[in-house]
Amino acid sequence: MPRSILASFANRLDLPDLRLSPDEKLTPARLRIELLSGLTVALALVPEAVAFAFVAGVHPLVGLYAAFLVGLVTALIGGRPGMISGATGALAVVMVALVAEHGVEYLFATVVLMGILQVIAGVMRWGKFIRLVPHPVMLGFVNGLAIVIFLAQMTQFKVPGSAEASGHGTAGGEWLSGAPLWTMLALVAATMAIIWVMPRITRAIPAPLAGIGIVAVVVIAFGLDVPRVGDMASIEGGLPAFHIPMVPMTWETFEIILPYAVILAAIGLIESLLTLNLVGEMTGKRGGASQECVAQGAANVLTGFFGGMGGCAMIGQSMINVKSGGRTRVAAVAAALFLLSFILFAAPLIEQIPLAALVGVMFMVVIGTFAWNSIRILAKVPLTDAFVIVLVTVVTVYSDLAVAVVVGVIVSALAYAWNNARRIHAKTYATPEGAKVYQVQGPLFFGSSDGFAEMFDVAGDPGLVIVDFADSRVVDQSALQAIEAVAAKYEAAGKRIQLRHLSRDCHRLLTKAGHLVVDSEDDPDYALAVNYDVRTGILGGH
């Protein structure tokens, strides 16, 4: 393929600079770190994938296959090296109703459609709109997700067995008590201590992997009776096989799966793109948002045809990877391949790993993910920003990530509009000729149009009024209509009004008051977020 075509395609998808920095060159030392980081991530993926499969009401292998396939595809072509993707709880809670009512085959069809929608979003470059997410929303997102990850680990402190029989994973069991509980807590604390101490001793082995390995050896060697991975479900299986979803190819089927596909696609992209930004901030390297959309979509299309439940980026596992030193695509690819090897060859061994070790790793992820500085700055930032941080955190915990982000962006946008609406005012003075000048200051848009109209004293003003917009900016159709309305009032009162320092767009779009505009060489040059139909004379928004 010609280099120019590749460059054009890269620009179309807003691809990042994928050149490796000096510390990311694949030297033998770097390769060892990447492989060990991938192994650590794979070990942490197993209980997560099984648990989310139980939440969705499907077989554990459906979750494990999703973790493998989504993780592999996004590792190869995703927008940010270092990110980990797989089956997630945010998607699983949406899937459960579909599986319960229509069965797992409809889930596979939905995942395929979900992937197609995500690919479309990537090709259309909609991923760039993630830039509109304000920083307070990001803080609320990471805080809420840290709490969600913490609460998800609580299910591991329940007696295994009865939960699996009920089809809801460990969530349905009774709480551990007595010696089993204290043993579990001691092992969790030991894992966390090892992860904290290990970097101070050596960085040859990722600290989370050392914690899992040491605690697992102790448990197996001493035969401690604690919950293990195998108590959740058997992870043994074969290679995922190609499978066309067995659903009727009818319009009725499409109507059933479309709403779920849209919701899943939105949740998956929002979580993935926010994780992309977070990992980018931690590693200091920009990610390709639109490329990530395409990668997530392609991964889900493939997963739906190979019996997986679909997935998206996983912030917990991504943090494990970054903290373990994973910086290139090798770590994420290794994680997916290690996971597949567990399913095919090492299930009996992996099933002996104590859940306490994995819980300890995730608790350290929680500590590292939560934005502790956000608590300190709550009293220092504007009240609206503090409210958004708390609101997004709470909604993430009690609802889901997509709803939380949308709510946070809407509240932030409304607060921004309200603050700008209050900025509109005018300085007035009289000219030697007896005219009154209104020097408008502040943006004029839908939120400030009423305040703009209230600034004028039509009855008390002299025969000539000049409205100067040099220190203002006319933004939208509502602003143009407000100008038209004020001009109409002065003309109805038999008074002259002149409009100065309006942009060329305003000159063109003002219909009735267009003849009142006074041209000047220093008129501003900016575009308005409206269009004008020359046939009907009607203003309209884009």
pLDDT digit string, tens, across residues 396-429? 888 877 788 889 999 999 998 888 888 899 999 9
Which pair of structure tokens corresponds to residue 493? Answer: 């009162």
- Of the pLDDT bands very low, low, confident and very high (cuts 50, 70, 90), residue 252 is very high
Q: What total of structural domains would you count in the chain?
A: 3
Which CATH number do you get for residue 524? 3.30.750.24
278 and 366 belong to one structural domain: yes
On whether the CB atoms of residues 535 and 542 are closer than 8 A, the answer is no
Tell me the pLDDT tens digit for each residue of 456-480: 999 999 999 999 998 888 888 888 8
Burial of 191 (0-12, 13-18, 19+ CB in 10 A): buried
Tell me the pLDDT tens digit for each residue of 170-208: 445 688 889 999 999 999 999 999 999 999 998 888 999
63 and 211 belong to one structural domain: yes
Mean pLDDT, range 88-116, rounded to an integer: 93
Which pair of structure tokens corresponds to residue 431? Answer: 């000219």
The Cα 467–Cα 438 span in angstroms is: 5
Q: Which domain range does residue 394 map to?
A: 383-420
On whether the CB atoms of residues 81 and 279 are closer than 8 A, the answer is no
The Cα 248–Cα 293 span in angstroms is: 28
121 and 176 belong to one structural domain: yes
- Of the pLDDT bands very low, low, confident and very high (cuts 50, 70, 90), residue 169 is very low
In a domain, 415, yes or no: yes
Note the pLDDT of residue 538: 42
What number of residues does the chain have? 542
34 and 147 belong to one structural domain: yes
Tell me the pLDDT tens digit for each residue of 213-249: 999 999 999 999 899 999 888 899 999 999 999 999 9
In a domain, 45, yes or no: yes
Burial of 186 (0-12, 13-18, 19+ CB in 10 A): middle
443 and 413 belong to one structural domain: no
Indicate if the pLDDT at residue 167 is higher than 60: no
Residue with tokens 């554990």, as numbered in its chain: 60
220 and 303 belong to one structural domain: yes
Domain boundary among 396, 420, 444: 420
In a domain, 5, yes or no: no
363 and 476 belong to one structural domain: no
Domain boundary among 420, 443, 473: 420
In a domain, 150, yes or no: yes
395 and 327 belong to one structural domain: no
In a domain, 20, yes or no: no
Percent of the chain at pLDDT exceeding 90: 51
In a domain, 494, yes or no: yes
On whether the CB atoms of residues 69 and 299 are closer than 8 A, the answer is yes
On whether the CB atoms of residues 362 and 149 are closer than 8 A, the answer is yes
Tell me the pLDDT tens digit for each residue of 303-345: 999 999 999 999 889 999 998 989 899 999 999 999 999 999 9
412 and 512 belong to one structural domain: no
Note the pLDDT of residue 47: 87
In a domain, 1, yes or no: no
In a domain, 348, yes or no: yes
Tell me the pLDDT tens digit for each residue of 474-514: 888 888 899 989 999 999 999 999 888 887 767 776 766 66
Q: Half-sphere exposure (CA, 13 Å, Cβ side) for 169?
A: 25
Average pLDDT, the chain: 85
122 and 261 belong to one structural domain: yes
339 and 453 belong to one structural domain: no
Indicate if the pLDDT at residue 526 is higher than 90: no
- Of the pLDDT bands very low, low, confident and very high (cuts 50, 70, 90), residue 48 is confident
Q: What is the DSSP letter of 250?
A: S
323 and 206 belong to one structural domain: yes
